[in-house]
Amino acid sequence: MSLFVTLDGPGGAGKSTLARLVAEQLAVAGVPALITREPSGGLLGEVARRQTSTFSGLALACLVAADRYHHLETEVRPALARGEVVVCDRYVPSSYVLQSRDGVPLDYIRHLNALADRPGLAILVTAASAVLEERLTVRGAHSRFEHEGSSAAEVALYEDLADVLAVDGYVFHRIDTGHQSPQDAAAALTGHILGLSSRASYPPRERLLPP
């Protein structure tokens, strides 16, 4: 029943909202799930999340990747091995966008993350840039990445990413939250997860790149 689901996309797209609502819906369906996020709640993750104005470029890229490998080892893989659905708010695709915005070459980001497990279901959560700008104005920005640059530029980077990841055999499914309520978006994703999790098995141990 295990399935590794990742949510990536621009700030304000609704990733955290979706993760929270999917958790509630999976609980109602009686499906054991771990809802988690990256950077993780561990020591490295807390530094990465809180110190994005102190760390940047290569240092932040390595910090986020180190947290990712520790998170996979200590939380994600054990939950999958217990047969749970894991929903992770941000994963490798976010590194492709955020670290390249920070000037890190794409190939270096790819190599840093090459040994990170591939999700069974990778979701691009997105919406029109005007919608995102409005949501971020209401909610407030959470990091320097949301203060700097425009939502339009970030949306474009995620759109281009679909092609970059496809080259690695990494398939993105898209959820546009601009035209549906959080509940409807979550119900669609929960339905998809329930359909897939009854067929999926773990461990996938696949890699973004061949070793």
Ligand X SMILES: Nc1ncnc2c1ncn2[C@@H]1O[C@H](COP(=O)(O)OP(=O)(O)O)[C@@H](O)[C@H]1O
Binding site for ligand X (CB under 6 A): 11-17, 135, 138-139, 177, 180-182, 185
Tokens 């919406």 -> residue: 127
Among ligand X, ligand TYD, none, the one that 14 touches (CB under a kind-dependent 5 to 8 A) is ligand X
Which of ligand X, ligand TYD, none binds 13 (CB below 5-8 Å, type-dependent)? ligand X
Torsion-angle region of residue 121: left (phi > 0), alpha (psi -120 to 50) or beta? beta
Is residue 153 within 8 Å of residue 11, measured between CB atoms?
A: no
Q: What is the CA radius of gyration of the chain?
A: 16
Interacting residue with ligand TYD among 17, 52, 100, 151 (CB under 6 A): 52
CB of 127 to ligand TYD, least distance (A): 15
Residue 74 identity (one-letter amino acid): T
| Closer to ligand TYD by Cβ: residue 36 or 99 | 99
Does residue 172 sit in helix, strand or coil?
strand
The H or E element containing residue 126 is strand 121-126
Binding of residue 70 to ligand TYD (CB under 6 A): no
CB of 118 to ligand X, least distance (A): 22
Helix (H) or strand (E) segment spanning residue 202: none
Site of interaction with ligand TYD (CB under 6 A) = 11, 16, 38-39, 48-49, 52, 60, 64, 90, 94-95, 98-99, 142-143, 145
